[in-house]
Structure 1
Amino acid sequence: MTPSDASTPRLSVVVATFNRLPLISRLLEQFAEQTLPPGQFEVVVVDDGSKEPVREPLLAQIRPFTLRVEVQANAGAAAARHRGVLAARGEVVLVTDDDMQVASDFLERHLEQHPPGSRNVVLGRIRPDPSIGDMPLFERWYAYLNHRMAEELSVPGARARGNHLYTGNVSFRREDYVGVGGFDKSLGQSEDVELGVRLEKAGCAFVFASDAYVLHGSDHVSFERWLKRANRYGMFDTQVARKHPDVRGVNPWRLLFETNPLARPLLAATVVAPQATRLLTGAVMNAAKAADKLGLEKAAFAGTSVVYGMEYLRGARSEAGGWTGIAREVARYLQGQRGR
């Protein structure tokens, strides 16, 4: 059961979910404890084709806020979030993930970053769940990257950009989202970054709000699936770069020029011989794991970054379609460098 839908909320929270009923239930319990009055927000959950029913168990619970649950055949996170934003009634939409946890002032912190007349895109901080230490090295590496980006954006004078956008913790005006066409549902990865680029081009201002944080755990434990995601990011970032050739920060070939010089030979070797270097990728990951066991976290994360970059560039190379395509993409990056 949910309260009456008679009044229009100030804020709509959109959460896509897939086969995670316990996690989305936990998140909804935390939304019930928000300092923002329940009449000022709603939650729109989009079930992206979960095997077990989600709608009925969620709506069976009494909650102080309006909850609506949309159900669709599995079409991916971008399509699910898009459906949720279109169904939202609030002026401001906040998108987060079903495996997040939030503090009681989470929604209030986001709303205060959207004063009347503003066109802000607010990036909240993603902090690791305290149990992250029990997760595999590659998941702790993700948490490290989130922390590093948050620290960089927290420096006075630092400027958040469109290509920083991530869907784990972001809010924006619904009107701006609809105005730029929403998520590109043809992208299997990086649809968040691509949306951010279009929002920035449309005149939105990006704001980093460290106090509007979420805690992120993870149920990803497969190294093979992690590698596959890296490969897909390389593929789809290539597509994003083609859509936005004027934005250097989305060009996947930047890794060859911006990565630590010590890692560049390994990345270049992967581009030249993507299959022959797979054993080398495994050896680097084994070295990273060994460093991790010895407590050498910095070295372990550095090795994990190299492994990710190698698989990422395999994906970019595949999408580029051969040496002619690679040369075109690299030239586009270099032209962007000269145009800075």
Structure 2
Amino acid sequence: MLSVVICTYNRAALLDKVLGSLCKQTLPAHDFEVVIINDGSVDNTEVVATSHAAKLPLRYVYQRNAGLASAKNHGLFACRGDVVLFLDDDDIATEALLEEHVKTHAEFPAEHFAVLGYTALSPDISEDPLMHFVTEVGCFLFSYPSLKHGDALDYTYFWGGRSSCKRSLLLDFGVFNPVFRFGAEDIELGYRLSRLGLQVIYNKNAVSYTIRKIDFDAFCHRLERQGASSYVCSRLHPAPEIQQWAGTADSEQSWTMIGGHFEAIIRSARHLDSMANLKLATGLGLDEETRGLLYRAYWAAFKACKVKGIVEKKESLNKMEAFIGQEKTAGSVQG
């Protein structure tokens, strides 16, 4: 009935916890399978996966490292369920997660309906100021505050790692574009499927908990990569709605204003982030003024990182296209 596809790369310790949570599902084990795609890990991912094989209907597949979109496609072709749920390798499933996805698909059986579950922060990282900001304030990671249970949403909510859909929809009408190694692969596919009427139903009771704390520098790097992927998506689909989602329209103008101050913006935010964590580590809370300054610094830094990723990817592709053009010209002259 349901296939849970988990794509993973060098996160064996986290994967072990995720698989442990899937052993406790209210959905009977004969109604689901777990397909693990190891995207070229060099840690003990295989050992962790096989250690759960006796407790779960599990299959393990290894591929050379090719990125998230490729791994998701591999999982899609390897699985056998009518519904496929893409679950992140750092998200713990609550006991009813799989059952809730199945129930919503039963309520909306038409092929074009997908389901979005709710991902919260695990208790041990929920008080972290950065993680709280990126999920509940700036919504750089998730964007749940404005959603209501049962909402019918568009393709921009076809979020990887917490969404499920009918497998036949993807097999018949489109899979993930492997050009996306990280970021935008889910929205880009969702946009293509939206032409077929894709709707995403939000089920707040399909709950998972993210257990991986992301530090400031790692999140900056993440947003640069997302910016690059967003630009690629905007090149593939020139529609105004994709340009708006990708944030590419004013990127060069924005970079002209902030590029010369980028390092200072990052240093300032990093310093405030360190001070905030030091206060919390010593038992001191964050007053409203400090929290406000910190959030403004986060906002400036993360926006700048995404713009940087967009602009650098644009420059890189422009150089590549110019080189290819020169090669073609040279070849024509020689011919």
Letter of the structure 1 residue corresponding to residue 264 of structure 2: L
Q: Trace 1:71-90 onto structure 2 (pairs within 5 A).
A: 71-90=62-81
Out of 242, 245, 249, the position equivalent to 1:250 is 245
Name 2:130's counterpart in structure 1: 138
Give the distance between the partners of 1:186 and 1:299, measured in 2 at CA: 38
SS at match of 1:167: coil
Name 2:117's counterpart in structure 1: 124
8 Å Cα contact 2:3-2:84 kept in structure 1: yes
Letter of the structure 1 residue corresponding to residue 130 of structure 2: F
8 Å Cα contact 1:288-1:301 kept in structure 2: no
- Summarize the Cα distance change of 1:173–1:23 in structure 2 as closer, same or farther, 3 Å threshold: same
SS at match of 2:104: coil
8 Å Cα contact 1:97-1:169 kept in structure 2: yes
The alpha-carbon deviation at position 159 of structure 1 amounts to: 4.5
Give the distance between the partners of 2:257 and 2:33, measured in 1 at CA: 51
Name 2:57's counterpart in structure 1: 66
5+ residue gaps, structure 2, are 280-285, 320-335
Is 1:277 the equivalent of 2:277? no
Give the distance between the partners of 1:17 and 1:23, measured in 2 at CA: 10
Letter of the structure 2 residue corresponding to residue 140 of structure 1: H
The alpha-carbon deviation at position 155 of structure 1 amounts to: 7.4
Give the distance between the partners of 1:114 and 1:320, measured in 2 at CA: 40
Cα deviation 1:242-271 (Å, max 9, x = unaligned): 222222442313677xxxxxxxxxx95633
SS at match of 2:110: coil
The alpha-carbon deviation at position 84 of structure 1 amounts to: 0.8
Name 2:45's counterpart in structure 1: 54
Name 1:261's counterpart in structure 2: none
Give the distance between the partners of 2:48 and 2:174, measured in 1 at CA: 32
Name 2:99's counterpart in structure 1: 108
8 Å Cα contact 1:139-1:218 kept in structure 2: no
Give the distance between the partners of 1:88 and 1:152, measured in 2 at CA: 33
Name 1:334's counterpart in structure 2: none
- Summarize the Cα distance change of 1:161–1:275 in structure 2 as closer, same or farther, 3 Å threshold: same
Name 1:336's counterpart in structure 2: none
Give the distance between the partners of 1:287 and 1:269, measured in 2 at CA: 23
The alpha-carbon deviation at position 91 of structure 1 amounts to: 0.8
Out of 236, 239, 248, the position equivalent to 2:232 is 239
Out of 215, 223, 229, the position equivalent to 1:230 is 223
Out of 175, 188, 191, the position equivalent to 1:194 is 188
Cα deviation 1:184-224 (Å, max 9, x = unaligned): 11123211221221222222211111110110121433x33
Please give the TM-score of this superposition, normalised by the length of structure 1: 0.79
- Summarize the Cα distance change of 1:273–1:149 in structure 2 as closer, same or farther, 3 Å threshold: closer
- Summarize the Cα distance change of 1:151–1:226 in structure 2 as closer, same or farther, 3 Å threshold: closer
The alpha-carbon deviation at position 148 of structure 1 amounts to: 7.2
Letter of the structure 1 residue corresponding to residue 220 of structure 2: L
SS at match of 2:114: strand
5+ residue gaps, structure 1, are 1-9, 257-266, 326-340
- Summarize the Cα distance change of 1:111–1:255 in structure 2 as closer, same or farther, 3 Å threshold: farther
Name 1:18's counterpart in structure 2: 9
The alpha-carbon deviation at position 37 of structure 1 amounts to: 1.1
Moved over 6 A (4+): none
The alpha-carbon deviation at position 275 of structure 1 amounts to: 4.1
Letter of the structure 2 residue corresponding to residue 231 of structure 1: E
Q: Trace 1:139-218 onto structure 2 (pairs within 5 A).
A: 139-144=131-136, 145=139, 149-154=143-148, 159-188=152-181, 189-218=183-212
- Summarize the Cα distance change of 1:207–1:133 in structure 2 as closer, same or farther, 3 Å threshold: closer
Give the distance between the partners of 2:112 and 2:126, measured in 1 at CA: 38
Give the distance between the partners of 2:142 and 2:5, measured in 1 at CA: 26
The percent identity for this pair of structures is 25
Cα deviation 1:29-79 (Å, max 9, x = unaligned): 221211111111100011112213433443244545420000112222222
Give the distance between the partners of 1:242 and 1:163, measured in 2 at CA: 17
After the TM superposition, which of the residue ranges 289-298 and 26-35 deviates more from structure 2?
289-298
Give the distance between the partners of 1:287 and 1:230, measured in 2 at CA: 19
Letter of the structure 2 residue corresponding to residue 160 of structure 1: L
After the TM superposition, which of the residue ranges 20-29 and 58-67 deviates more from structure 2?
58-67
- Summarize the Cα distance change of 1:283–1:30 in structure 2 as closer, same or farther, 3 Å threshold: closer
After the TM superposition, which of the residue ranges 142-151 and 81-90 deviates more from structure 2?
142-151
8 Å Cα contact 2:269-2:294 kept in structure 1: no
- Summarize the Cα distance change of 1:240–1:304 in structure 2 as closer, same or farther, 3 Å threshold: same
Give the distance between the partners of 2:141 and 2:310, measured in 1 at CA: 26
Letter of the structure 1 residue corresponding to residue 315 of structure 2: G
- Summarize the Cα distance change of 1:61–1:150 in structure 2 as closer, same or farther, 3 Å threshold: closer
The alpha-carbon deviation at position 88 of structure 1 amounts to: 0.7
8 Å Cα contact 1:106-1:212 kept in structure 2: yes
The alpha-carbon deviation at position 286 of structure 1 amounts to: 3.4
